[in-house]
Structure 1
Amino acid sequence: MKSETLNGVITYAPNSRKELIDYAVQHKKILVAVNAEKILHATDQSRAIINRNLGYPDGIGAVWALRKKGHKDVVKIPGCELWLDIVKQHYNNKSFYLVGGKQEVIEATVIQLKQEFNGINICNFRDGYIKSEKEEADVIEDIKKHSPDIVFVAMGSPKQELLMERIQKQHQAVYQGLGGSFDVYTGNVKRAPEWWVRNNLEWTYRLINQPSRIKRQIHLVKFFINLILGKY
């Protein structure tokens, strides 16, 4: 699978979700979402985290930048959909471990997954409030004990990526950071309606519903100007 460097951020250019999933499973990678904001505001730390792992185009900005580099068939793969694609593709032959969210959210997530994917093997799960080094060590030991094939961690960046890297050193598996995806999956947070998502206007929908995001969205104008000027 080919990749490009966008403002120092190595971003892969999959032509399908299956291609990305198969590559991650084959090489036991940590999947990290890349979007316009992460490219524009890349720091030494964030670049290093993404570049050590498998950065994929989670937002349309990353897709446009990759297409400008010649990857005409690259597809946008939202992280809140990717983890469910992984489950759909592998719930019959892989085991899963889930970390993240509030206790009631992670419990609701597990119940919903078991209802939706009959026979799914969820080894274990826990909330995302890991408050001490001992608690983290206990999580790692429990993951090693259950030896899952795929681990989802929903804690927000860069905390989730750093935790996944520490776990990966002791247990090789596929990992994906999910941010608030458990909340979206269980309906605690509403995602944009399908039309907005399909037309790459999800950011616009969020802005309409949360005008306070305007300061954050203004920065994206700079990203698109840089893209037009060929700075990525």
Structure 2
Amino acid sequence: MENKTVNILGFDFLNSSFNDFMENTKQRIDKRENTFVVTANPEIVVHALNDQKYTDTIKKSDYLVADGIGIVMGANILGSDMSERITGYDILLDLLSWGNQNHKSAYFLGAKPEVIADLKKIIPQKYPDLTVSGYHDGYFTDSDEIAAEIKQNQPDMVFVALGFPKQEYFIEKYRHVNDGLWIGLGGSFDVLSGHVQRAPQFWINHHIEWLYRLIKEPTRFKRMLALPKFIRLVKKQKKNEAK
């Protein structure tokens, strides 16, 4: 796959269809190529702009994908045709299905203990032919111990749902122990386990999934303020590039 990218505020976002990205990712997993994927929304970008360590970590990833309609909007403002999001949750579902069909292995790290407890019930039921290399919730003190377990089991895919920036820091620090896919997935385990409801398809299709989540979780309002800030910064970037 030719890696077409769009530079948004200094970050090179992959400009690809979901299907092309997934096909390429599966090929890399089959070849046991070490792959670090960051799924980023405007909130992550705004945070990174104020945190050089996080910026450096993100830029070490193999793929930075647009998990948020705000990123697509930003690309379009800059004149690039980015037509679709590549969300972490959709990646997870697709890889679980593919992994089940092809007898792959996966390690699940992150979320609350009760979420992981439910995943332990759901994964074997929905994906019986997927080998689970391990589960661990996001409440741990010894990250080296978890990395050692991943190194011993050598899973094809490591799903890390610790929230940013913790998940990206963990991956960047330990990806060398296992040549497989490493991807940060935020709150995806919460949705997969049924603890959080994803927006109905209508909201997703009309690019207002963020509004559905805000209605369901009003406490997210402060976090949502990152979107208008992000858009302002992108417009400033466009203005500067036009000079």
- Structure 1 residues 28, 22: closer, same or farther in 2, change over 3 A? farther
* Deviations 1:114-144, CA, capped at 9 Å, x for gaps: 211231111221222121xxx3222111111
Query: Does residue 192 in structure 1 map to residue 192 in structure 2?
Result: no
Structure-2 residue corresponding to 1:49: 57
Query: How far does residue 5 in structure 1 lie from its aligned partner after superposition?
Result: 1.8
Moved more, 162-171 or 42-51: 42-51
Q: Specify the SS of the correspondent of 1:88.
A: helix
Structure-1 residue corresponding to 2:68: 59
Task: Indicate conservation of the 8 Å contact 2:8/2:234, yes or no.
Answer: no
Tell me which amino acid in the other structure corresponds to 1:67: N
CA distance in 2 between partners of 1:218 and 1:144 (Å): 39
Structure-2 residue corresponding to 1:5: 7
CA distance in 1 between partners of 2:221 and 2:174 (Å): 36
Provide the identity percentage.
32
Structure-2 residue corresponding to 1:102: 112
* Deviations 1:174-211, CA, capped at 9 Å, x for gaps: 01111221111111122222211221101112223333
Structure-2 residue corresponding to 1:91: 100
Task: Report the TM-score when normalising by structure 1.
Answer: 0.88
Task: Indicate conservation of the 8 Å contact 2:157/2:180, yes or no.
Answer: yes
CA distance in 1 between partners of 2:206 and 2:117 (Å): 33
1:130-209 equivalences in 2 (<5 Å):
130-131=140-141, 135-209=142-216
User: Unmatched 5+ residue regions in structure 1?
Assistant: none
Tell me which amino acid in the other structure corresponds to 2:187: G
- Structure 1 residues 159, 218: closer, same or farther in 2, change over 3 A? closer
Tell me which amino acid in the other structure corresponds to 2:143: E
Query: How far does residue 35 in structure 1 lie from its aligned partner after superposition?
Result: 1.4
Tell me which amino acid in the other structure corresponds to 2:40: V
CA distance in 2 between partners of 1:222 and 1:175 (Å): 29
Query: Does residue 72 in structure 1 map to residue 73 in structure 2?
Result: no
Between Structure 1 and Structure 2, how many residues are aligned? 228
Query: How far does residue 225 in structure 1 lie from its aligned partner after superposition?
Result: 3.5
Give RMSD over aligned pairs.
2.1
- Structure 1 residues 72, 146: closer, same or farther in 2, change over 3 A? same
- Structure 1 residues 101, 211: closer, same or farther in 2, change over 3 A? closer
Query: Does residue 216 in structure 1 map to residue 217 in structure 2?
Result: no
CA distance in 1 between partners of 2:84 and 2:161 (Å): 23
Query: How far does residue 69 in structure 1 lie from its aligned partner after superposition?
Result: 4.5
Task: Indicate conservation of the 8 Å contact 1:57/1:63, yes or no.
Answer: yes
CA distance in 1 between partners of 2:95 and 2:4 (Å): 20
- Structure 1 residues 141, 114: closer, same or farther in 2, change over 3 A? same
Task: Report the TM-score when normalising by structure 2.
Answer: 0.84
Query: How far does residue 219 in structure 1 lie from its aligned partner after superposition?
Result: 3.7
1:35 to 38, 41, 44: 41
Query: How far does residue 65 in structure 1 lie from its aligned partner after superposition?
Result: 2.4
User: Unmatched 5+ residue regions in structure 2?
Assistant: none
